[in-house]
Structure formats: structure tokens, C-alpha cells
Amino acid sequence: MELIKNWTDALRYQPYCQWDKQYQKLLTETVNHSKWRQNYHIQAESGLLNDPNGFSYFNGQWHLFYQIYPMGPVHGVKSWYHVSSDNLVDWQPEGFALLPDMSYDSHGVYSGSGIVIEDELILAYTGNVRDQDWQRTSYQMLAAMNKQGEITKEDKPFISAPPKGYTHEFRDPQVFKYQEQYWLLIGAQTDQLEGKVLAYAGDTLEKLEFKGELHFTDQSMGFMVECPNLVFIEETPVLLFCPQGLDQEALDYQNIYPNTYIVAESFDTETLTLTQPTALKNLDEGFDVYATQAFNAPDGRALAVSWVGMPETAYPSDHEGWAHCLSIVKELKLKNGHLYQTPIKEQVELRQEQTALAGELTSQPAVLMQATNNCYEVILKFTAGSQGKLHLFADHELNLSLVIDFDTKNGMIKVDRTNAGSPFAQEYGTTRSVSIEKNQPLTLQLFVDQSVCELFINGGQQVATARIFPGEGEDGLVIEGAAGSYAGDFWRLRSMKND
């Protein structure tokens, strides 16, 4: 028996229970043998993981769900999988939460959000249905999780169809409370095939009324907007969303679809306007972030987690029966109107043995750490005027590595995966450039975990995330340069505890 290579629609939508047990065993064994499995990032046991869903705090614990197709590295019939945590870094598997088991979600329990109402965690999701001609119908559905962790789906949609003038590309409800009312934002498409975000409001989730389109830009948002997500950072509204088919004139991006955001002054509920919106920006400057979900936690923080993966893009781990992971949890902050994303304070719990690092940047490459095991955090502070290259996932000869090329004189960072591990997604470019303030000191904080690297620049002013699929022995951390010096720390990180 071999892993399936030619996925047909019939296979992708075959109910899980019809899958042969022997095949599932082979799949799990193949996944478990992968050298790219991560130690502290959330990943699916097998198959494909995509969007984070229902990120919330309920009954004294953090809850997170994700989109999963467990039978292979493809977008098949989706479910929600549940993980829970006491500290936002160690996540326990809780099993499948919402399965595609009713007529309103027969072809997938699609993305959505969670909100605590009284003593339940209410989950809002999109039921995806296809007819014989493969035409899509979307239903907005609710489910409730009680304090025992039991989940019950409601048997009828709470929004049964898109409003007149919009297609069934209508999904990813975000529910939240704002000024004593329940609000729902949802990704939509007009009959003229324009991407929009629609708003609903009401006194209860069951009695939501369609209010209209949310206004947050004058530009065209492409043909569809996925995963709209409004969070408030100290009262300031920040809208995260994923426009598909966005004109590259409107935003400089290279990924197939960008994950973008705007910061506004206020949310005017009368006119459905996010007032004084900033220009559209990339949430992540790297290669692999999409469908980020954030929520306002009861402790006052705005917490976010991203899908580290791209739609419609092949990844090397596909051959091993699995694809993608979630990012670490990031805290969103605003400083002078700019969005910062920082690793949460709890992230330090993973730190193990520490090594101090310091030196001059010279053209002779210096090995900072030979065998990192690709499971570490490193923070490096560079003096103003520094120019150099940090190599991660480096082989002995420095022929292969993920290169972080920094030039503080010209205010530029380039993340280059041209010669890093197994090549993939080259059609979307193999470098990403980030502008930084010129002639200033620079801080880089990196989280590396087997096949993923999350880079936080200058305390989270910018973030760049990249998947890398290194070969045997490609785990060196090396630095070289032309000018300046550095000082910092390296920590080996422990694995996530998940039992």
C-alpha cells in the first residue's frame, strides 16, 4: 500500500468512517517518521491543518480549534479539531469537536469563532454544502460547548443564506459583543464577484439582523474576503482579513493571497464604518501566514494565532501525509498607531539551557551554535550600522541555509530561502524584504522549530514567518558580516507538554 498521490473530489469528500483502517495506519506511521514534525507548534496528527478557529478563554482554560482534513495533505472534507491549554504554550489534544455530520455541513465544517455566553462557549461556523453539480451553499451554524467539554450543534442555521446580491462564497463568521449588542462579521462576495465584509447585529445571536457592508477601505478587495476578524486594542479597532485576488498595486505582496490589516480610529456602528483607516498592510512579511485569528482575552490582551501555510500551494511534507502548523500565540499591541506582534510572555516557559552570544561581525563566518537540533529561540541585538547575514538551518559548508540578511545602514532586512532545505513554492518568490528604520540598532528574535521559523523584528514591529524543510545535518546557526557587532542569548527550547 502507498499514500494516495492522485486525490479526486470523490476521495477528498469520502466520509472519514469509510476509510480503510490499514490506510490510516500507514498514514500515521508515515507522518510519525517525518523529520519535519515540530516540537512546540500545534500540528495535526495527520493530514492537513489550516485556519485557527474559536480561539477563546472559557471555564478557566484557553481553547483553540483548527480546521483539519485528517486523511491527507489536501483540502478535503473539513472538521474542527479542539486543543486546550492552561498557559498558551502547552496544548492538550481534545479530539474532533465539530464533524461534518449533518445536511447543513455535509461538505465541511468551515471556519468560525467562539464567544462565551453565560456558562457556555458558543461556536459559530460555516456549514459548507455542495450539490450534485458541485454548486456551493453556505449556512451559518452554531454549536455550544458546556463546562464538561460536551459540544452540541444546533440543528438549524442561524443565518440560512447570504443576503440578496451576494453569492454563496459567504463564510467565516466572527461573533463578538460590542456596546451591549452581539455583532457578526463575515467574509462575502457580491454577485459582481467583489470581496466584502458584511456585518450583522442584534440582542442575541439567534436574532441577528443584516446591517450591511462594513466600510474600511475605498479600494477593491479582490474577488473574496476570507476570515475577517475585528479586535480592539485598548479600544482601537484593528481589522485583520484575507483578501483574495487583491491588486498588487493596492498592496505589495508576493504570497498567493495576503493576510492584511488596517488600524482605525473607531467603529461607527450607525454607519458600519471603521473610521480613519490606515492603508492596507501585510500582517506578516514572510512567506506562510494566513487566516490569523485574534480575540480580546478577559485578561485585557489581544491574542492572535495564525495558520502557517498558504492555500493552493504544495509543501514538501505533503509527500509524508501531512501539511502545515499553527504559529505560536502572539500578543497584538499598538505603539504610535503601528501594530506590534510580540511572542506572549508565557513563551519563556519553553526555555531550557541558555548560552550568551556576543561578537564582532566579520567576513569570516562564525558558528554561533553547531548542532541546534532546530529547536531554539535566539535574541540578537545589533549595533546601529551593522550589516551582515544570519544563517539558520545551515549545513557545514554553508551552501544551504535560511539567510536573514540585515543592513541597518540602508534600513533593510531580507529573508532568503532560495537555498534552504527542499525547495518549494518558488513561483511566489524565494525572498521577502522588510524595511526598517535606518541607522538604528536592530533586535532580531527568532523561534525555530524543525521546519518553521518565526522572526520578530525590533520587538514585533514586523514579523516574518517561513516554513523550511531542512535535510539531515542542516541545523547550524552561523553569522557573518561587514560591520557592527552583536550580543544576545540562545535558548534550547523544550517540547510542548501534551498529556
Does residue 325 belong to the site contacting ligand FRU (CB under 6 A)? Answer: no
Tabulate helix, strand, coil % of the chain (nearest 5).
5, 50, 45
Site string for ligand FRU, 442-481 (x = CB under 6 A): ----------------------------------------
Residue numbers 267-306 binding ligand FRU by CB under 6 A:
290-291
With CB under 6 A as the rule, give the number of residues binding ligand FRU.
14
Cβ-based nearer residue to ligand FRU, 100 or 481 = 100
Provide the sign of the torsion angle of the four alpha carbons 17, 20, 24, 30, taken in this order.
negative
Pairing assessment for the beta strands 47-58 and 322-323 based on DSSP bridges: parallel
Cβ-based nearer residue to ligand FRU, 78 or 301 = 78
CB of 219 to ligand FRU, least distance (A): 20
Radius of gyration of the chain (CA): 22
Cβ-based nearer residue to ligand FRU, 172 or 318 = 172
C-alpha cell at 497: 507538554
The residues near 498 (Cβ < 8 Å, ≥ 6 apart) are: 90, 91, 92, 93
The residues near 7 (Cβ < 8 Å, ≥ 6 apart) are: 72, 74, 76
Does residue 51 belong to the site contacting ligand FRU (CB under 6 A)? Answer: yes
CB of 110 to ligand FRU, least distance (A): 3
Residue numbers 171-230 binding ligand FRU by CB under 6 A:
171-172, 226-227
Can you spell out the DSSP letters for 277-299?
Answer: PPPPEES-SSSSEEEEEEEE-TT
CB of 452 to ligand FRU, least distance (A): 18
Does residue 110 belong to the site contacting ligand FRU (CB under 6 A)? Answer: yes
d(CA 234, CA 53): 23
Site string for ligand FRU, 66-105 (x = CB under 6 A): -x----------x---------------------------
CB of 323 to ligand FRU, least distance (A): 12
Q: Is 51 a catalytic residue?
A: yes
Pick from 447, 463, 273: nearest CA to 374: 447
Choosing from 9, 20, 51, 105, which is the catalytic residue? 51
Among 311, 365, 411, 441, binds ligand FRU (CB under 6 A): 311
Cβ-based nearer residue to ligand FRU, 291 or 477 = 291
d(CA 142, CA 159): 10
Calculate ∠ Cα 418-420-422, nearest 5°: 100
CB of 206 to ligand FRU, least distance (A): 22
Among 79, 85, 111, 259, binds ligand FRU (CB under 6 A): 111
CB of 13 to ligand FRU, least distance (A): 13
Strand order in the sheet with 224-233: 224-233, 236-244, 260-263, 281-282
Write out the E strands in 412-475: 412-416, 431-435, 442-449, 452-457, 462-467
69, 122, 63, 280: CA torsion to nearest 10: 80
Cβ-based nearer residue to ligand FRU, 245 or 311 = 311
C-alpha cell at 400: 544551504
CB of 186 to ligand FRU, least distance (A): 10
Cβ-based nearer residue to ligand FRU, 51 or 320 = 51
Among 38, 43, 46, 50, binds ligand FRU (CB under 6 A): 50
DSSP state at residue 159 = B
Pick from 276, 221, 294: nearest CA to 251: 221
Does residue 245 belong to the site contacting ligand FRU (CB under 6 A)? Answer: no
Cβ-based nearer residue to ligand FRU, 291 or 446 = 291
Active-site residue set:
51
Interacting residues with ligand FRU (CB under 6 A):
50-51, 67, 78, 110-111, 126, 171-172, 226-227, 290-291, 311
